[in-house]
Amino acid sequence: MIDIPDNIKNLIREEKYSIDDVGMSDSKVIVFDDKILKIPNTSEEAENEFRVMEWLQGKLPVPKVLGYEKDDKNTYLLMTKVPGEMACADKFLKDPDQLTAILAAGLHALWQVDINSCPCNWNLERKLQKAKYAVANNLVDIEDAEPDTFGENGFENPNHLLEWLLSNKPEEELVFSHGDFCLPNILIENGEVSGYIDLGRTGISDKWQDIALCYRSLLHNFDGKYTGKQYQGFYAEVFFEKLGLEPNWEKIRYYILLDELF
């Protein structure tokens, strides 16, 4: 076990654990039988996750905070483990019709949360400010980008992409947003969303932020990008039918491109 503050250590004692390496997060995630210890990669997102998790108790199925500590090097967030399996589990990918229906219901549940007292704001201006910082400090990993984002048929470099994003800002439809609505961050049990996890970017944002990243995550989980195993039967039309929305492809493209800078 890595060195952790005594207050957190007293809560986990000598429990057995494993390391979770599923998903794209840079955070260290240590899994116990009934709890999770997360050591986020940024203190800002750690603070956001702590605040929004406390605020969401009784509103949505999210973990409960058991301990929260900061030291000179890291932030430590100990939380309960919520029930369910990740939406990218094999059994869900084998049934795309049911999976898209569950995810659509999960998105609608987020949008029904009243944002008037929400403590966390991730609107477009804030995201673009963070994107500017990432570009200015060479923090963008272009090797991890979509194949057509940069290069001959795409943008010259992250700065070129940032300029395009600043010049093409869409009008926002502000709702309560997960912020990283990808399949590993959504847990399912008994045919419904049983938990939302990885809440570092959760708060007020455009509804198309979540739709865009969910759509991209579905595409890549079905085409085998992450595991090498391909699944059949996912169609964008079915996903948007379940959502009850006409796809806004301009906004979907915008938020997928914006995510390249995070």
pLDDT digits (tens, 9 = 90+) for 162-209: 999 999 999 999 999 999 999 999 999 999 999 999 999 999 999 999
Whether pLDDT at 23 is above 80:
no
Q: Establish how many alpha carbons lie within 13 A of residue 193's alpha carbon, considering only the half-sphere containing its beta carbon.
A: 23
Instruction: Note the pTM of the prediction, 2 decimals.
Output: 0.93
Q: What are phi and psi of 188, to 5 degrees?
A: -125, 140
The candidate with the shortest Cα–Cα distance to 221, out of 90, 25, 60, is: 90
Tell me the catalytic residues.
180
98-135 residue pLDDT tens: 999 999 999 999 999 999 999 999 999 999 999 999 99
| CATH topology match: 6-80 vs 85-259 | no
The torsion of the CA quartet 205, 208, 212, 215, rounded to 10 degrees, works out to: 120
Domain ranges of the chain: 6-80, 85-259
Distances (CA, A) of 158 to 46, 58, 161: 25, 40, 5
CATH class assigned to 6-80 = alpha beta
- The CATH architecture one would assign to domain 85-259 is Alpha-Beta Complex (3.90)
